[in-house]
Structure 1
Amino acid sequence: MMKKIQILLVLLLTSGSMVFAQDKPDRLVTKANAKYEEYSFRPAIDIYKRVIDRGYTSADLLKKLGNAYYFNADYEEAANTYKRLVKEYPDDVAPEYYFRYAQTLKTLQEYKSSNEVMAMFTNATSDDLRASTYKEERDYLSEIKKNSGRYNVAPFNYNSPYSDFAPTFYKEGLIFSSDRDTGNFARYRHTWNSKDFLDLYKVNADSASNNLVVKLGDHVNTRLHESTSTTDKNGDVLYFTRNNYKEGKYVKDGKGIVRLKIYRATKNEEGLWSNIEALPFNSDDYSVAHPTLSNDGSTLYFASDMPGSLGESDIFKVQVNDDDSFGEPENLGSTINTEARETFPFITSEDILYFSSDGHPGLGGLDIFAANVSDGRSDGVVMNIGEPVNGRMDDFTFIFDESTRKGYFASNRSEGLGADDIYTFLETKALVLDCRQTVTGTVRDKISNEVLVGATVKVIDEDNNEIMTSITDADGKYTLELDCDQGNFVRAMTEGYIPAEEYLGKSDGTPKTINFFLERNTVSAGFGDDLAKLLQLSTIYFDFDKYNIRKDSEIEVEKVIAAMEKYPSLKIQVNSHTDSRGKDSYNLWLSQKRAESTVNYMIKKGIAKERLQSEGYGETKLLNNCDDGVSCTEEEHQLNRRSEFIITE
């Protein structure tokens, strides 16, 4: 099914930077490319198909045709086109086309084939956030299934045979967007998919009469698109999305594209929307759209492809000041945003952000996700809310009232009445976004294996704040419950033993067992011995071309600090090394900085600087054969980026 809203409102697609190359340019192809660059996909599709029917094709033509289908939500045709592209022009396939091909296969429920294409995507790119997500050892379909079944879904009473979407709560009812026929004599058509232009309507959602669907006034609705909207709690301030429009005419950017902008309107004494103004961070050069307002009205969330975006569209937030001015827009970051499309945000009264994305693992097309953004956080778990709200097609413009557990969303699923339809739902099982991880284990003597009763097990966050403490019982056992939305150190310690620690990164909450085997705090060593070996430390590693101590290495340095605190006369020299890559002189400098960085860290932790020395050896003492010109893996090079702790007294 063709769907307009995804094209109109998902914000800027891939920039039309692909260059069409052919020995004898065809007029039809030139015309189609011009339509494509204007985002007029339906005319472009028709022309491209005519060209292909005449026996002509190229990698560039298939890319554009596949994209036109993809962004018009015709996923079956998009899949067929991308399949032909990959098969006939494998050397011309950029990673993004593998990703879109995989997405289209998911909408067709061909999950095995989709995973195979996603593997091609991850192999083709190394720095894409989506690739790292799919590389994780995760069965994301099982995760989605676990989150499913929490909603009872039914069609909205006021759907039409046209496109209805973007519901927002307004007083006792809703405002929503539609291109339904309201008797207008002049029907303005949008060339992206040959559908009518969108206007805003309001309705008493609890009424049984279709006669209560009322179009908002002419001050809000224009001859172009008006769509996604939000109001304050009193219903006196309206934010809405509209095509760039000025003095009765639409405004195009340098590429001839009409961008999207957010406008604000207020009610006058007669109850009419007035004082309509564009928000100051709008631009003629990029789109700003899909507003949603926090419960207290102090923060506006929206979607945009403005500079600073990670993908085709990102979720941003901006402060709304008491004088109705605005702060600077802030990107919500890489946990929520990907290189693909994050769009249609909605914020609940409890600061749960719902949004649509095709960058996070989903069932196909746009899926709806949730994340906790309370207290300004944006780095927690991003959860696919599962079926039946999400399906293989596009699901978007989700809104939810936490007091009634009721809400609405839109979808272009095939069983709908129109191109896009609104659905109502009741949440029957609450969403749990605060990720908790149970950690259990025992603390034992490393040599005798005896349990250590009364040992202290602490949880310390990445800012070195102590979060909680547990004491081992008569069996040497402990139990902790961690916030798995963040990284934590779990540290075991007791008198007479050297503390041991393990770092746990963000996780999905799977329970974990950590058994600690503590070594008695006795150091028997002399001049020139490596304290790291005596304490059985893991190697202190550094990232390539960096000299700051990594989080996972801080644990090991803390063990050295504990030993030096136990033996005040102990003095050491920190020797740091690099791998062979880079100039010899630079590596000497870098290794010295690494040694100094380690010493400075220990001084900040309370070790007297007179007890510490530092020396950098560059690449002069490699542990393997990874010398200049030798091909080695990253893991082999990392063995040489290390620090040692040599006893000097």
Structure 2
Amino acid sequence: MKTVISSILCTLFAIAICNAQDKKVEKAGDKFDSFAYAGAIDDYESLVEKGYTDEQIFKNLGDANYKNADYDVAADWYSRLFKLEGITVDPDYMYRYAQSLKSNEEYEAARAWMQKYEEAKASDRRAKVSKANPDYLEKIKARSGRYEVKSLSVNSPQSDFAPSFDGDNLVFSTARDSGITSKRVHLWNNSAFLNLYSATPDASGEYTNASKLSNALNKKTHESSTAFTKDGTTVYFTRNNSNNGRFSRDDAGVSRLKIYRANLDNGNWTNIIELPFNDDSYSAAHPTLSPDESKLYFASDMLGSVGQSDIFVVDLHSDGSIGVPKNLGNEINTEGRETFPYVTDENVLYFASDGHPGLGGLDVFATSIKDLDNLYIINVGKPINSEEDDFSFIINEETKKGFFASNREGGQGGDDIYAFTENDPIDLVCHTMVKGTVTDDETGNPMGNAKVAIFNRNAELVSETLSNADGSFMLEGDCKDGSYKVVATKEEYNDGDTAFEVVGANNTEDVEVRLKKTIKQADEGTDLIAFLKLEPVYFDLDKADIRPDASRTMTAVIEYMNTFPDIKVQVQSHTDAKASTGYNSGLSKRRAKNTVAYLIANGIDASRVSGEGFGESQLTNECNTRESCPDERHQENRRSEFIVVR
């Protein structure tokens, strides 16, 4: 009886333990789902230490660290996830794993996982661009080294980011503890809520001291990412959902980001309002103004987004009203994160992305938006970009000086602001190259001096050149994604073409264009053997049978007659001079008859072909007696020819 009771107690105890563990997993999941990543990480790691392993735990631990930019830790959890047996994991985890590996500079491993991602999600723009740019690291390296970068002394041990220009002042967002915010900790990363600060340069141009902006702008919420008008009287900024100035969540436990506008009146920020396109169902953040201040660019995951966050633009009307946001399109936006836009006076858009090929985490990219239908997007390279998150890039194009934020090693806090000077201007003109060869379709020999041109899908000429003596050519192609065609032309040849695709401004190599000789209609009296440069149809001594080696010539004659269905041909057959004249006449007629029969049997209408035997009367050489030549010379006369008679 004691044994039975003991067993029951053990079973109940085990059930209690399981229930307790299930509750811990559920609690950690609730924190993760409500974006309390710091707490979720602690709870999940505690469970793993106790031997609790599960697919969803590894997924959430990877994602929580990924979203907190702890990419080395994220890579470890993703690695454990993919080592689990018998599971099928969404390809997006492959992508985040590859990105995390890049941040550890494990580029070969990252490339291997990106290839798996490309195969699993071939229609994804990130997969297409990655596949089209296997040499992206070389491209980034070629664009690197154009900036001088230094850290700012105004940085704190906390997170400092989102710099913006307010005249000569530098305004930025920071999680530093101002003395009254120590209890206001955000659960995403256990850091203090963000506030807006401003720093004024000293006589040497250095930013050493910063002070908090007006309490009218800084509430008990996150504030970040400002955009000031040139006259300094209006500011657009980002703030979390709030309830009477306090941090607020929706029914799902999510606090969305919204863009606000404020006006400066007698030194005070007033008339603080939400922009009308904000909504509790999505976030809108990180505003920046166009050069003429008629448009506002921002990041959002609103309806119509391609990925986790996209860049949008909205019109700002002179009467103060605001238009309907428009997505900038899937050339800029990917299935990943595109965020922190900044537009220069020359309409160059800088933005951060982890969807375009980069070094790891968020990288800074640039493109001219003067023509949204013809975009060329480039990674600005090192030292702006690193293996970690690099973002919130701004620049004064006149002074070539600017700022950006990064969580790279060597900083004071989680994110630090860095100043930079641009020494070499950014080149936003696309330079894709198309390389290939022009060859003869029949012989495979290279063809020099052929005209080679690229046409787009609308049959518009992109560029043209002439092939070199070795048949090679190199052309500058169009950078816009789409289908293109290389067309080669040369006198006495039919035009040839080869199609290719451009994705992500990729170079195209090993294009081969093969040209076929132009077939012209022969004049009356022409021997097709000579005209088509064919071997004659030869016969064995004292034979009239068509030999196997004649098939190539016969096929070429048949194809020619099919190409020009109006012509008629007379087969003229001949012999050598070894037999009598009378015998040779009959032998040549039999040869003509068999040659004609071969053509008819292979589809040539009998009305289009006739035959005539000429015996030894039309020798091709001096072998006019049996003894005058060896047999290989007599062979030259035992033949059939094909003469155009109409």
TM-score normalised to structure 1 length: 0.70
1:108-119 alignment to 2 at 5 Å? 108-119=104-115
Native 8 Å contact 2:462 2:478 kept in 1: no
Where 2:77 maps in the other structure, the secondary structure is: helix
User: Does the residue aligned with 2:93 lie in a helix, a strand or coil?
Assistant: helix
CA-atom RMSD in angstroms: 3.3
**Which amino acid in the other structure matches residue 160 of structure 1?**
S
Shift of 1:111: 1.7
Q: How far apart, in 1, do the equivalents of 2:481 and 2:335 lie?
A: 22
Partner in structure 1 of residue 128 of structure 2 = 132
SS of alignment partner, residue 55 of structure 1: coil
Is structure 2 residue 230 aligned with structure 1 residue 233?
A: yes
Question: Could you tell which deviates more after superposition, 245-254 or 358-367?
Answer: 245-254
Residue from 412, 417, 428 that aligns with 1:417:
412
User: Match of 1:257, as an amino acid?
Assistant: V
- Larger deviation, residues 134-143 vs 101-110: 134-143
| Structure 2 residue aligned with 1:387 | 382
**2:326 corresponds to:** 330
Please report how far the alpha carbon of residue 303 of structure 1 lies from its aligned counterpart in structure 2 after TM superposition: 0.9
Shift of 1:142: 1.7
Residues 631-646 of structure 1 aligned to structure 2 (within 5 Å): none
CA distance in 2, matches of 1:243, 1:207: 36
Which residue in 2 is equivalent to 1:91?
87
1:454-469 aligned within 5 A: 460-466=455-461
Q: Distance in 2 between matches of 1:494 and 1:151?
A: 48
Letter in structure 1 aligned against 2:89: V
Matches within 5 A, 1:331-410: 331-377=327-373, 380-410=375-405
Distance 1:145 1:360 in 2: 15
Q: 1:122 to 1:23 in 2, by over 3 A?
A: farther
Query: For each residue in 1:256-304, what CA deviation from the matched residue of structure 2 results, as whole angstroms up to 9, or x when unmatched?
Result: 1110001112222x13222211111111011011111111112221111
SS state of the match for residue 376, structure 1?
Answer: coil
Give the Cα–Cα distance (whole angstroms) in 1 for the partners of residues 115 and 95 of structure 2.
Answer: 9
- Please say which structure displays the higher CA radius of gyration: 2
Q: Using the alignment, how far apart are the partners of 1:416 and 1:373 within structure 2?
A: 33
Partner of 1:40: 36
Q: 1:458, 1:362 → 2: CA distance?
A: 33
Could you tell me which residue of structure 2 aligns to residue 177 of structure 1? 173
State the AA in 2 paired with 1:397: S
Task: Specify the alignment match of 1:53 in structure 2.
Answer: 49
Q: 2:163 aligns with which of 167, 170, 189?
A: 167
Identity across matched positions, percent? 44
CA change 1:169–1:149 in 2 (3 A) is same
Structure 1 position 125, deviation (Å): 2.8
Contact 2:497 2:513 in 1 (8 A): no
Contact 2:219 2:246 in 1 (8 A): no
Shift in Å at residue 436 of structure 1?
A: 2.9
Secondary structure of 2:117's match? Answer: helix
| Structure 2 CA distance for aligned equivalents of residues 260 and 351 of structure 1 | 26
In the alignment, does 2:55 pair up with 1:62? no
Q: Distance in 2 between matches of 1:250 and 1:441?
A: 61
User: Which residue number in structure 2 is paired with residue 485 of structure 1?
Assistant: 480
Contact 1:434 1:483 in 2 (8 A): no
SS at match of 2:418: strand
Taking structure 1 as reference, are residues 309 and 317 closer, same or farther at Cα in structure 2, changes over 3 Å only?
same
Match in the other structure for 1:508: 506
**Structure 1 residue 473: Cα displacement:** 11
Shift of 1:458: 5.8
Change (3 A) 1:372 1:90: farther
Select which of 429, 437, 446 maps to 1:434.
Answer: 429
Shift in alpha-carbon separation, 1:523–1:271, aligned structure 2, 3 A: farther
Letter in 2 for 1:425: F
Cα–Cα, structure 1 residues 158 and 458, in superposed 2: closer, same or farther, change >3 Å?
Answer: same
Q: How many angstroms apart in 2 are the aligned matches of 1:478 and 1:127?
A: 32
Check whether the contact 2:161–2:172 (CA below 8 A) recurs between aligned residues. yes
Q: Which SS does the other structure have where 1:126 is aligned?
A: coil
Amino acid across the alignment from 2:231: N
Q: CA deviation at 1:182?
A: 2.7
Unaligned runs of 5+ in 1: 1-21, 525-566, 570-649
Q: Tell me which amino acid in the other structure corresponds to 1:404.
A: T
1:389-414 per-residue CA deviation (whole Å, 9 max, x = no partner) reads: 11111111111222222111101112
Q: After superposition, what is the alpha-carbon deviation per residue over 1:50-77, rounded to whole angstroms, capped at 9, x for unaligned?
A: 2222222211111112211111122222
Moved more, 472-481 or 123-132: 472-481
Aligned length: 502
1:473-622 paired onto structure 2 within 5 Å: 481-485=476-480, 487=482, 488-491=484-487, 499-503=495-499, 505-506=501-502, 507-509=505-507, 517=515, 520=518, 522=520
Q: Give the secondary-structure state (helix, strand or coil) at the position aligned to 2:237.
A: strand
